[in-house]
Amino acid sequence: MTDGEQFIEAATAVRPRRWWIAAPLGVLAPVIGYLYVGRPRAALAALLFTELSVFSSWMAIGRAIARPIVGPAVFAAIALISVAMFVDIVRSALRARDFTPGRWNRPWIYASAAAFLVVPGLVSTWLPGLSEDERATRSFTLMSSSMYPTIRAGEIVLCDMRAYDDALPAIGDVVVFRRPGEPDVIAVSRVVAGPGSTVAVRDGIPIADDRPPTVVDEGPGEVPGERFLSVTAPDGRRWRMASGPGEGGLRTVAPIALSTDQWFVVGDRTDNAVDSRMFGPISRADLVGRAGWIVWPSAWSRLGRAVE
């Protein structure tokens, strides 16, 4: 047999697809998985889906992805489609018992597909306006329990980075900001008073312009001496706090007059929060964005929960 005949025989040899190879490809790189099982059109569709879900969902859709209803719905749709592609790839491999490799089953084709999969990340790094601090959305991990019970320690929250480009924080908003005097420290707290107000803290409760919120005791908290409180601001915005015995002198703060560019922020767990009671008001320049929803929860029942 000549060399040419040997090459033709090798190129046309039947090589069944292995499901145990297709399965990890279906999870890590569906595009390559579809190429492996001999379905180039499906691979192209998977590539377009990957580009759109990874790039457009975070960049083009932008702020919408940080909304508590829209964001989880988009993520759920992406997850369902990803699972469907995985199942489809594995089924295709199981059916390809008499598979003959085609022109799509070449190492350089696989390498090219893998290169295309990393394009969104590279583009988001290179393009103006898509740097880490300029993206429409960004996730943050809360390492402390300062916002408990709204956000628990270790949970990852998706933030709307453009929320305050053309608007001002409202009372009750959970904002992400750079701590005054420590610009490298990103913190999360709740706005309890806005520009032009005079704010004080009495018995652990923030009061703006001598208009105390309505406070309802909901019972014992997580630690001894702690109480869960339901707080309703004069404008009707409602949230929960955890007030405990560890606040000490911070339970009472003398009135502070805020300028036209200042907000007073306090953590929901007042005895475990570093907030405006210590470092003073924050300004617009300190604002990073507004917390949207919990993308990585401490319990599955909290997945997708809005930060309110």
Per-residue pLDDT, averaged over 10-31, amounts to 87
Cα–Cα distance, 229 to 241 (Å, whole number): 5
Which of the two residues, 82 and 8, has the higher pLDDT score? Answer: 82
Closest CA relative to residue 177, chosen from 307, 295, 266, 70: 266
CA end-to-end span of the chain: 75
* 134: helix, strand or coil: coil
Among 200, 158, 141, which Cα is nearest to 61's?
158
Q: How far apart are CA 79 and CA 49, in angstroms?
A: 12
What residue type is assigned to position 54 of the chain? V
Which two tokens mark 208?
């703006």
Residue closest to 38 by CA, chosen among 94, 81, 116: 94
Model pLDDT, residue 281: 97
Mean model confidence pLDDT for the chain? 87
CA distance 112 to 154: 37
The tokens 């701590």 sit on which residue? 179
Q: How far is CA 14 from CA 93, 98, 110, 130, 302, in A?
A: 13, 6, 19, 47, 50
> Quick one: pLDDT at residue 10?
47
* Residues whose CB falls within 8 Å of the CB of residue 76, separated by 6 or more in sequence, listed in order: none
Model pLDDT for residues 189-205, shown as the tens digit of each residue: 999 999 999 999 998 89
Residue 257, classed as helix, strand or coil, is strand
In this structure, what token pair is assigned to residue 183? 């610009």
Choose the weakest-confidence range: 45-54, 93-102, 123-132, 285-294. Answer: 123-132
Dump pLDDT digits (tens) for 159-185: 999 899 989 999 999 999 999 999 899
Smallest CA-to-CA distance from 102 within 29, 47, 36 is with 36
Under 8 Å between Cβ of 101 and 34: no
